[in-house]
Chains A and B, each alone.
Chain A
């Protein structure tokens, strides 16, 4: 997904992709091998990046040559995703129609995001998209005790899942979701592990949650 942009901008810009996958490399491997990226492609089973404020995907973080974050986590698409132009098939069920129509309304502004990225690569610190360290910290998410505790539960759940302790893992996945209810990564990764039975296990679905929380909040509008 990012290889084309990397080819264009490297070596002025490196891209590092991080797969948030509690199932580990087995879940990400087919995608990475198909993309065959020249850039580092890493696996984050315990969602360590949540500690930086990552709560949904795809999310981008800009880091300058000195290791300073110049833009905190924000929605990052390299191009317009196919779901934005998806047509409802004639044979779609009402539920399928609703899901397709909802995903078309998600806030995605790939053109503006990539233009800003190119501007930063070209102009460096003079780019108007570079934020001061104080602004980066100000824009990063608050981290109350509940959300920090959710991260510990998710790490436990991922470890337990890997050890074959499915019931205990589910208990901690649920606790992570309860303590950090706005994290889509905690929900969706656990749902992926549960498979088609996830509505029965977790009591909700992506469609239900997006409707309840507001489609406009799934991807906050870019503040470029």
Chain B
């Protein structure tokens, strides 16, 4: 999850991470974590990372920041498949949520 600034809008944070700024805090699906100190216009990535339990890595020479996934528990926090969006060969975006209604085998592979 790549960012080009240390402070981002709430809309940008939600677009990249799925976590939305709400009166209850930062929320995704049914889950919310307490969060204060941010506004719709500006959320400090370091503050959001701390609240969400995500590591934040900075590459100052390129002006880039990256958030990692939440840590401390299991890779799968629940058995619900996250709604990941990935491109196909032509750049068309495919949402895992579109697979609902059919059994699916997801296979990770590589050419290397």
Binding site for B on A (CB under 8 A): 1-2, 11-21, 25, 27-33, 40-44, 46, 48-54, 57-70, 72-73, 76, 117, 120-121, 124, 133-134, 136-138, 140-145, 147-153, 155-156, 159-160, 163, 165, 168, 172, 185, 188-189, 191-192
Contacts and interface: CB of A to CB of B under 8 A. Distances in A.
B29 to A, nearest CB: 11
Contacts of B71: 143-145, 147-149
Interface string B54-92: 111101011010111111111111111110101111010
Contacts of A25: 87, 89, 91
A148 B66 contact: no
Given A19-B110, A42-B94, A145-B55, A76 B105 contact: yes
A60 B70 CA distance: 22
Interface in B22-49: none
CB-CB nearest 10 A-B residue pairs: A53-B75, A152-B68, A148-B71, A133-B79, A192-B112, A140-B76, A149-B55, A152-B66, A148-B68, A42-B86
Given A42-B87, A67-B99, A155-B66, A60 B107 contact: yes
A43 B89 contact: yes
A18 B52 CA distance: 27
A13 B104 contact: yes
Contacts of B75: 51-53, 72, 140-143
Given A69-B80, A165-B62, 12 more contacts: A18-B109, A25-B87, A30-B111, A52-B75, A61-B105, A63-B99, A63-B104, A67-B97, A137-B74, A138-B74, A145-B72, A152-B66
Nearest to A30: B111
A25 B109 CA distance: 13
Contacts of B102: 11-14, 65
Chain B interface residue bracket vs A: 35 or more
Given A15-B104, A40-B94, A20 B81 contact: no
A205 B71 CA distance: 29
A16 B107 contact: yes
A153 B111 CA distance: 22
A121 B102 CA distance: 10
B103 interface: yes
Contact of B108 (A40, A44, A150): A44
Query: A18, A21, A58: which has the most chain B beta carbons within 10 Å?
Result: A18
Contacts of B72: 143-145
A148 B2 CA distance: 14
B110 A48 contact: no
A29 B111 CA distance: 9
B103 A60 contact: no
A156 B84 CA distance: 18
18 contacts: A12-B103, A20-B108, A21-B110, A21-B112, A25-B87, A28-B110, A29-B89, A33-B89, A42-B86, A57-B110, A61-B105, A63-B81, A136-B76, A142-B74, A148-B71, A152-B68, A156-B59, A156-B66
